[in-house]
Amino acid sequence: MTWWGWMLAGGAAAAIALLASKVSFELFYSRVKDNDRLYIYCKAVYGLIQYRFEVPVIAFKGFKKGVVLKEEHVNERGDKLLGEGTAEINKDKVLLYFKKAKIFVEATYHMRDWLYDTMSKVTCTQLKWSTRIGLGDAPETAITTGIVWTLKSSLLTFMFTHIKRCGSPDIQVIPDYRQTVFTTELTWKGQMRFDQACASLVLFVVRAFKNRGSFKAWQKILSKSP
């Protein structure tokens, strides 16, 4: 075999290995007393591409100021700070995001079909969600525990209708009749094939500009005001 043949064979093997690789996601959230922690971690191409976004502080400043988030961009191990900042989410920003989301859905051709099709290619590899509730009163604690169980069950039913499941989720709602307490910890891990992720992205771009007036709609979405 000539060196051209070896190059083509090597390129084909590399392309197959790339397309067969996995894109992994991890979402973690915990709240203990007044301490919140949230991070999102993504990995692709056998770990060559990694991204981690962390929010170590979530502070509620009242109904006028809303919620203040401290954002940190860290490396994949979480031990080196690459950048940080703060973001304020108030009523006006929520309404603005809602208007832009509405424009986004209307501008994208069959957005719901694309979303459900993409979700069907995701496999949930791990789900752990534990919540401890105590209201200081036994009947109220028992009723609230049942409500939280119902909410979790409804959410999981919807999610696993569209996302493939690998293994059994670990879901707990623990009533605490001795004290007033609320703690929760959620860990979700999922993955999808790299080629499917690329195909979904290309399909999204095609759908995003298929409708008439899509370009103007995207200008509104990217602008500061809808």
Is the pLDDT score of 63 beyond 50? no
Is the pLDDT score of 78 beyond 70? no
The reported pTM is: 0.74
Residues 191/22, Cβ–Cβ less than 8 Å: yes
| Cα–Cα distance measured from residue 219 to residue 167, given in angstroms and rounded to the nearest whole number | 43
Least confident of 42-46, 88-92, 206-210: 88-92
Q: Give the chain's length.
A: 226
pLDDT value for 127: 94
Higher-scoring residue by pLDDT: 30, 212: 30
Amino acid sitting at position 142: A
Range 126-134 average pLDDT: 93
CA distances from 122 to 36, 115, 165 (A): 27, 11, 9
pLDDT value for 146: 93
Is the pLDDT score of 3 beyond 90? no
Q: What is the mean pLDDT of the chain?
A: 80
Is the pLDDT score of 2 beyond 70? yes
Range 121-125 average pLDDT: 92
| Cα–Cα distance measured from residue 167 to residue 163, given in angstroms and rounded to the nearest whole number | 12
pLDDT value for 18: 79
| Cα–Cα distance measured from residue 173 to residue 187, given in angstroms and rounded to the nearest whole number | 15
Is the pLDDT score of 221 beyond 50? yes
| Cα–Cα distance measured from residue 25 to residue 189, given in angstroms and rounded to the nearest whole number | 6
For residue 194, give the nearest of 9, 48, 74 by alpha carbon.
48
CA distances from 11 to 17, 45, 47 (A): 10, 15, 20
The token duo for 127 is 């789900």
The token duo for 162 is 């569209």
Range 210-219 average pLDDT: 69
Range 134-143 average pLDDT: 90
Range 4-13 average pLDDT: 76
Range 63-67 average pLDDT: 54
Question: In DSSP terms, which residues pair with 133 in a beta bridge?
Answer: 175, 182
Residues 192/123, Cβ–Cβ less than 8 Å: yes
